[in-house]
């Protein structure tokens, strides 16, 4: 089965469970809307790639933790798009969940996706319960307080924002979780994988800032120019377009260098570099060409 299929079928099974006959139908529809069709599924891909690089495994636990991390990412997008945050009408080229279903169901869809992530982990973890505590702890650290993506979003409600903590929490934390969980799920030591997650997460944050600054809404499927409009800390504001682009290239290089020596290092390196070429916003590539 291809990597994409392993991810999509695990997500499909999780969403299908929420669509039982006695479920409130509009929330069930909102969940499907939030998860499919997906974006690049970068975090679960990273998780599966690390697991593969660590020798793989066949417990279903790898797919489960990859899907759990993607569900948590989807939950954060649904809540970030709410009127009280970004008030984004579009996401992945279609109406955001609150635009399509209203704010109440968008709040609940985010909540349900967070719970669903832990349910997916619990079900798959029954086959390897000894690995569950570490997987859960890594995932909750990537998502919750004090330094996960929820904390990252919360920095936007503070008067004084340490840009590095903000970015590390808002984007980096879940990449770190994805990389480290890929190792734990197959029984490997997660420590050597932290830095790869950090560097990739940082690269994604720079790419996201660039995308927001230079892309048209039609190109990236969500509103752009939001950082400036909402006065959010942005690396483009800090370093300028060229400076941010140079930082992105530097971080991708550092990510490749952070891959620990292992059997699957080469294919993981290829994955990082393929992702890296997708990271540079088209607009910037055009203006640089």
Q: Measured from the CB of residue 239, what is the shortest distance to its own copies in angstroms? A: 23
State the residue for tokens 């197959």.
186
Instruction: Kindly write out the interface string for residues 84-103 of this chain, putting x where it contacts its own copies by CB under 8 A and - elsewhere.
Output: xx---------------xxx
Residue 111 interacts with its own copies (CB under 8 A): yes or no: yes
Label residue 40 left, alpha or beta by phi (over 0 means left) and psi (-120 to 50 means alpha).
alpha
Q: Quick check: 115 binds its own copies (CB under 8 A)?
A: yes
- Decide if 48 contacts 63 (C-beta within 8 A): yes
Q: How far is CA 57 from CA 30, 46, 115, 117, in A?
A: 33, 15, 25, 20
Closest to its own copies by CB, 84 vs 218, is 84
Where do we find the tokens 């929490």? 169
Closer CB to its own copies, residue 24 or residue 93? 24
- How many residues sit close enough to its own copies to count as binding (CB under 8 A)? 61
- Contact flags string 139-158 toward its own copies, x per CB under 8 A: xxx-xxxxxx-xx-xxxxxx
Minimum CB separation of residue 3 from its own copies in Å reads: 26
- Rounded CA-CA distance 141/193 in Å is 15
Residue carrying the six token digits 């954060």: 76
Query: Contact between 240 and its own copies (CB under 8 A)?
Result: no
Q: In the complex, what is the shortest distance from the CB of residue 106 to its own copies, in angstroms, rounded to a whole number?
A: 9
Residues 55-84 that bind its own copies (CB under 8 A): 75, 79, 82, 84
- Residue 90 main-chain phi, psi, to 5 deg: -130, 155
Contact 173/141 with Cβ under 8 angstroms?
yes
Binding residue (CB under 8 A) for its own copies from 93, 104, 225, 243? 104
24, 55, 93, 240: residue in contact with its own copies (rule CB under 8 A) = 24
116-146 burial: b if 16+ Cβ within 10 Å, else e: bbbbbbeebbeebeebbeebbebbebbbeee
Closest distance between its own copies and the C-beta of residue 222, in Å? 19
**Distance, CA of 248 to CA of 65 (rounded, Å):** 27
The site for its own copies (CB under 8 A) is made up of: 17-20, 22-28, 31, 75, 79, 82, 84-85, 101-105, 107-108, 110-112, 114-116, 118-119, 121-123, 125-126, 129-130, 132-133, 136-137, 139-141, 143-148, 150-151, 153-158, 165
């Amino acid at each position: 089965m291809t990597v994409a299929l392993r991810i999509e079928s695990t997500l499909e099974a999780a969403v299908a469970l929420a669509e039982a006959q006695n479920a409130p139908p509009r929330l069930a529809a909102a969940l499907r809307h939030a998860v499919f069709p997906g974006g690049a599924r970068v975090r679960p891909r990273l998780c599966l790639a690390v697991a593969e690089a660590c020798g793989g495994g066949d417990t279903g636990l790898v797919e489960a933790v990859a899907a759990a991390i993607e569900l948590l990412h989807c939950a954060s997008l649904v809540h970030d798009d709410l009127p009280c945050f970004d008030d984004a009408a579009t996401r992945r080229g279609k109406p955001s969940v609150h635009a399509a279903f209203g704010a109440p169901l968008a709040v609940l869809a985010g909540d349900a996706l967070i719970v669903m992530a832990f349910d997916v982990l619990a079900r798959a973890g029954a086959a390897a319960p000894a690995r569950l505590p570490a997987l859960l702890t890594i995932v909750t650290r990537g998502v919750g307080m004090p330094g996960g993506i929820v904390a990252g979003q919360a920095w936007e409600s503070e008067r004084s924002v340490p840009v590095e903590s903000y970015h590390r929490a808002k984007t980096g934390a879940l990449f770190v979780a994805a990389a480290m969980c890929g190792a734990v799920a197959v029984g490997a030591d997660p420590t050597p994988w932290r830095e790869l997650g950090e560097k990739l997460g940082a690269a994604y944050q720079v790419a996201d800032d660039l995308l927001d600054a230079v892309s048209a809404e039609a190109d990236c499927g969500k509103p752009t120019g939001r950082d400036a409009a909402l006065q959010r800390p942005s690396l483009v504001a800090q370093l300028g377009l060229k400076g941010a682009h140079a930082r992105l290239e530097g971080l991708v290089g550092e990510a490749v260098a952070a891959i620990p020596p292992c059997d699957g290092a080469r294919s993981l390196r290829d994955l990082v570099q393929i992702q890296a070429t997708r990271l540079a916003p088209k607009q910037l590539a055009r203006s640089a060409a």
